[in-house]
Amino acid sequence: MTWVITKLTWANLFNRPVSTILTIATLSVAVALISVLLQFTAFVDQRLERDTGGVDLVVGAKGSPLQLVLSSLYHIDIPTGNIPLRDAQSLMRNPQVGRATPLALGDSFLGFRIVGTSPDFLNLYDAGFQEGSIWKHEQQVVIGARVKQDLKMGIGQKFASTHGLVSAGADASHHEQTPYEVVGILEPTGSVIDRLILTSVESVWHAHGITHDEERHDEERHDEVSHEEHESEADHTTGAEHKHGHSELSDIKNLDPSGHEITALLVEYKSPIAAVRLPRFVNSQSGLQAAVPAIEVTRLFSLSDGLVSGARIIGILFILIGGLSIFVTVSNASAHKAYDIALLRSMGASPTTVFLQQLTEGFVIAVISGLLGIMFAHLLLFMAASALPSLKAIGLNGSLFTIAELYLLVATVFIGIVAVMWPAIRNYKLDPIILLKRGR
């Protein structure tokens, strides 16, 4: 009986190819739309949780708190500005702060951001080394797994950074006088650190000539040397900077803050009470603002919630239309082949066989539509990631498969079976004797 049902099902589908293809296409588009939404939602939930790295508060310059969180935690926006190192050090020493990780942004290399920070940054994401080790001197960097994969970089490779946080153009400004050297490669973590180039804060300052400018500023302010001595000092400083890549690093927390700035500070609370007191204290400071990642991410979702809900409703409507299309297709086919069914019944086919054949037809259409829709959704995201660097940068490339997509496939199959239920019941109750007497 199984062989008969299978053969009849495929014969019916191929007998009306245009109708079958249109039905499958309609349902596949609906499944693909919902699959894309499911992938996007699951990816964002997982990625946001991983990229937060346990950070409770982001402190930066006044501006948009959402922009501050996106630029400092997720590295997908431009920073709001810089804050004085003196203010950052004050927060580092605050008794309510458990751990504070500095960030110095401003440069990139072939689209990947260079982040000046401390070794604590690796602990936020439990990142381990697949090669090399942490930087020990200025102008040494550690690269993420995605950077190594895309740029084919290795230990000992040197490169010059580009000023700015976007992909370099033909007229981009390069810091060729202060090249970086790769000394470590991180293992994949599935978080934002995979696409970052990490170095010390002093290295970023050095690349921008901040150390040299500060020394010259101090000399001019104190007027302690003559013009000739000043030139001599400048020569000496230049020579020192030439060797700066081999100098020992300082403790940012206890470094002389005069004239130095950082971009942001990633703060972890020491106690729950800090969640109430610390943001209020930071926002009361001139030029500083505190952004709570959980609040800003929730606000971001609220801004896009209407679009996601609208797309989800459209996808559900498409699935219902697809189910209705299956119903109409199978009903029409049943009406046209009623005489054929009567012949089958007269030749010994039981009502159950006819009923199961109709259900199998709906099942096959729904399974094919569901699988094609899910495959198309993943292919669509893969193509979008290849065409849009922003999607590729955050890792949304169609490689994520979720349990929700399995539920979507089951729901699609259920709708397909329900759609053919009425025609199947009608054919089950068909009296073959009456039809055969009446003829076609």
Q: Cα(31)–Cα(51) distance, rounded to whole angstroms?
A: 29
pLDDT (tens digit per residue) in 344-373: 666 666 777 777 777 787 788 889 888 999
CA dihedral of 185, 187, 189, 191, whole degrees rounded to 10:
10
pLDDT at 187: 94
Reported as type and span, the H/E element at residue 159 is: strand 158-159
Residue ending a domain, among 291, 323, 341, is: 291
Residue 232 sits in the same domain as residue 362: no
Instruction: Please choose, from the candidates 178, 144, 196, the residue with its C-alpha nearest in 3D space to the C-alpha of residue 246.
Output: 178
Same domain membership, residue 75 and residue 20: no
Report residue 131 CA to chain centroid gap.
25
> For residue range 379-424, what is the model confidence (pLDDT) as tens digits?
998 888 888 766 666 667 778 788 888 988 998 888 888 877 777 7
As a whole-number percent, the residues of the chain with pLDDT over 70 amount to: 72
For all residues of the chain together, what is the average pLDDT?
78
- What digits encode the pLDDT tens for the residues 144-177? 998 998 899 999 999 988 887 665 444 456 667 8
Do 130 and 194 meet the contact criterion of CB atoms below 8 Å apart? no
pLDDT tens digits along 46-75: 777 777 878 999 999 999 999 999 899 988
- The predicted structure's pLDDT at residue 355: 76
* Residue-number span of the structural domain to which 245 is assigned: 57-291
Give the mean model confidence (pLDDT) for residues 208-236: 45
The tokens of 96 are what? 């309510």
Phi, psi of 143 (to 5 degrees): -110, 150
Residue 133 has pLDDT above 70, yes or no: yes
Confidence of residue 9 (pLDDT cuts 50, 70, 90): low
Out of 260, 291, 322, pick the residue that ends a domain. Answer: 291
Q: How many domains are contained in the chain? A: 2
What confidence tens digit (pLDDT) does each residue in 169-212 have? 444 566 678 899 999 999 988 888 999 999 999 999 988 776 54
Residue 95 sits in the same domain as residue 219: yes
When pLDDT is averaged across residues 212-224 and rounded to a whole number, the result is 42
Instruction: Judge if 10 and 78 occupy the same domain.
Output: no
Do 330 and 314 belong together in one domain? yes
The predicted structure's pLDDT at residue 326: 67
Mean pLDDT within 219-237:
41
Tell whether the model's pLDDT for residue 238 goes beyond 60.
no
User: Looking at the structure, do residues 259 and 342 belong to the same domain, yes or no?
Assistant: no
Share of the chain above pLDDT 90, in %: 30
Does residue 68 share a domain with residue 111? Answer: yes
Average pLDDT over residues 116-121: 93
Higher-confidence residue of 237 and 283: namely: 283
244 plus 355 within the same structural domain: no
pLDDT band at 339 (very low <50, low <70, confident <90, very high): low
pLDDT, tens digit, 9 for 90 and up, residues 29-47: 888 888 888 888 777 777 7
**Polymer length in residues for the chain:** 440
Co-location of 62 and 41 in the same domain: no
The letter for the amino acid at 108 is S
Same domain, 90 and 154: yes
The answer on pLDDT for 338 being more than 50 is yes
One domain, residues 220 and 353: no
Contact between residue 108 and residue 168 where contact means Cβ atoms under 8 Å apart: yes
Domain stops at, among 259, 275, 291:
291
As a whole number, mean pLDDT of residues 5-34 equals: 75
- On whether both 286 and 396 belong to a single domain, the answer is no
For residue 10, pLDDT over 60 is answered with yes
This prediction has a pTM of 0.66
Beta partners for residue 103, in sequence order: 264
